[in-house]
């Protein structure tokens, strides 16, 4: 069963590269998102508008969502591996595939690229709004491009390498645990009036589970810079200098590597829900950003993900051999 799990890990990655995230295919992460929305509405019925009550409600939501997200794959895989091992392997491979988002991230960002190349700024704004949380209606071409590059850089960790790490450690059960935390943070982890207290536990938990993966992702991205024709020395320099230039302890890690590798300045002030948020910049403004930078950051994404799956598979095999001995 251990070797089944290792093979399912690699198979899931390959399936993700081949198929991505077809819109017609029901996806468990979207199911988790729907569950978060419905659970939030139910819990808020019992919450008073006080810090203590809202934080308690948010904590209950986190517990319920994590229980649901881990208990189902644990029960299903345990049953299948004890009764129909081959089917267990197939289901685990599909689960690993659905937890990863390598091709989806590339496809969605390349929609922005193609809109920019054909000069349709309105379409580019719409396409980038599908993958970022900031307001996009008033972004110029450079702003749209920067938003796309930043989201690929950040999600190289959140959407690909961090889930891989949790899959490598605990299979789909831990993988879905991570994705549930990540999804809760993206939906309720805001520092605004509605979620400052209700979403605080989810946001803090997301910071915790991403702390090591974000840094591992950054180092992997640095290592593959020479393979992608990007600037290794600048990636190291900007990473060391700007890796903390973000309100989140994790988000600037991979963005700093990307900014250095591509020779760009990323981040800076942005509007969210109509409100301007002042944010430090990451990287040096050595040249204007261009649409081709979206293709360059995707090369970095793919190279880092390939290195990650190779390294984590080797580590899993080494651990298995040591355990058997």
The residues pairing with 270 across neighbouring beta strands, listed in sequence order, are: 277
Q: Single out the residue of 150, 127, 167 nearest to residue 6, CA to CA.
A: 167
Q: What is the pLDDT of residue 267?
A: 85
Polymer length in residues for the chain: 325
Interval 189-239: pLDDT, tens: 888 888 899 999 999 999 999 999 999 999 999 999 999 999 999 999 999
Q: Say what percent of the chain tops pLDDT 70.
A: 98
Is the pTM higher than 0.85? The answer reads yes
DSSP-derived secondary structure letter, 50:
S
Q: What is the pLDDT of residue 293?
A: 96
Q: How far apart, in whole angstroms, are the C-alpha atoms of residue 250 and residue 118?
A: 34
Q: Say what percent of the chain tops pLDDT 90.
A: 79
Q: Is the pLDDT of residue 146 over 90?
A: yes
Helix (H, G, I), strand (E, B) or coil at 250: coil
- More reliable by pLDDT, 171 or 267: 171
Domain ranges for the chain: 2-324
């Amino acid at each position: 069963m251990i070797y089944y799990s290792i093979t399912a890990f690699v198979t899931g990655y390959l399936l993700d590269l081949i198929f991505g995230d077809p819109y017609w295919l029901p996806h468990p992460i979207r199911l988790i998102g729907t569950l978060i929305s419905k659970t939030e509405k139910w819990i808020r019925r019992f919450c008073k508008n006080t810090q203590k009550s809202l934080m308690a409600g948010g904590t209950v939501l986190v517990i319920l969502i994590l229980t649901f997200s881990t208990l189902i794959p644990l029960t299903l895989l345990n049953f299948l591996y004890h009764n129909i091992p081959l089917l267990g392997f197939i289901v685990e491979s599909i689960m690993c595939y659905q937890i990863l988002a390598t091709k989806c991230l590339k496809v969605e960002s390349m929609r922005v690229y193609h809109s920019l190349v054909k000069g349709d700024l309105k379409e580019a704004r719409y396409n980038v709004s599908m993958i970022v949380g900031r307001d996009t209606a008033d972004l110029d071409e450079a702003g749209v491009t920067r938003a796309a590059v930043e989201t690929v850089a950040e999600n190289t960790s959140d959407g690909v390498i961090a889930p891989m790490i949790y899959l490598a450690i605990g299979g789909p059960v831990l993988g879905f645990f991570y994705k549930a935390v990540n999804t809760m943070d993206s939906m309720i982890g805001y520092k605004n009036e509605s979620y400052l207290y209700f979403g605080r536990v989810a946001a803090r938990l997301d910071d915790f589970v991403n702390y090591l993966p974000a840094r591992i992702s950054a180092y992997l991205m640095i290592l593959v810079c020479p393979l992608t024709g990007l600037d290794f020395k600048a990636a190291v320099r900007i990473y060391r200098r700007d890796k903390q230039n973000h309100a989140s302890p994790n988000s600037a890690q991979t963005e700093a590597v990307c900014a250095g590798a591509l020779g760009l300045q990323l981040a800076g002030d942005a509007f969210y829900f109509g409100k301007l948020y002042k944010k430090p910049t990451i990287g040096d403004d050595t040249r204007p950003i261009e649409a081709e930078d979206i293709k360059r950051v995707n090369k970095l994404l793919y190279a880092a993900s390939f290195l990650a799956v190779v390294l984590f598979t080797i580590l899993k095999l080494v651990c298995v051999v040591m355990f058997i001995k």
